[in-house]
Amino acid sequence: MRTHHELLGKGSLSILALTIGIVILVGFNVVSYQMLQHEREHMSLVKHSRQIIDAVDEILSAMKDAETGQRGYLLTGDPQYLEPYQTATKYIRSDLEALRGFVQGNPVQQRRSDQLTALIEQKLQELRETIQLRQTHPIGAPQTLHTDRGKQVMDDIRSVTQAMDQEERGFLQLRWDQQQFYVQREHRAVFFGSVTSMFFITLALIMFTRERERHKKVTAHLREMQQAQRALRESEAISSQRLTELLLLYDTAPVGLGFVDPDVRFVKVNEALAKINGKPMAEHIGRTLFDVLPEKVAKELEALLRQTMATGNPLRQLELCGTMPHDPDKEHWWSVTYHPVFNSDGKLLGIHAVVEDITQRKRAQQQIERLNADLAKQVDAHQSAIRQLQAATTALKEKNEELEQFHDIVVGRELKMIELEKELRKLQSLPK
d(CA 91, CA 58): 10
Span 285-316, pLDDT tens digits? 999 989 988 888 889 889 999 999 999 899 88
Span 76-114, pLDDT tens digits? 888 888 888 888 888 788 888 888 888 888 888 889 888
Residue 321 pLDDT: 82
d(CA 181, CA 189): 13
Residue 7 pLDDT: 43
Residue 26 pLDDT: 61
Domain 253-357 has CATH 3.30.450.20: yes
Residue 1 pLDDT: 46
Q: Are 276 and 359 in contact (CB under 8 A)?
A: no
Residue 288 pLDDT: 92
Mean pLDDT of the chain: 80
Q: Which of 143, 122, 136 is nearest to 75 (CA)?
A: 143
For the ranges 111-115, 237-241, 357-361, 381-385, the maximum mean pLDDT occurs at 111-115
pTM comes to 0.36
Q: Which of these ranges, 236-240, 257-261, 349-353, has the smallest mean pLDDT?
A: 236-240
Residue 423 pLDDT: 80
Give me the amino acid identity at 304: L
DSSP 374-389: HHHHHHHHHHHHHHHH
Q: Which of these ranges, 30-34, 208-212, 239-243, has the smallest mean pLDDT?
A: 30-34
**Secondary structure letter of residue 138 according to DSSP:** T
The percentage of residues in the chain with a pLDDT greater than 90, rounded to a whole number, is 9
The average pLDDT across 363-388 equals 83
Per-residue HEC secondary structure of 90-118 comes to HHHHHHHHHHHHHCCCCHHHHHHHHHHHH
Span 400-426, pLDDT tens digits? 787 778 777 877 777 888 888 888 888
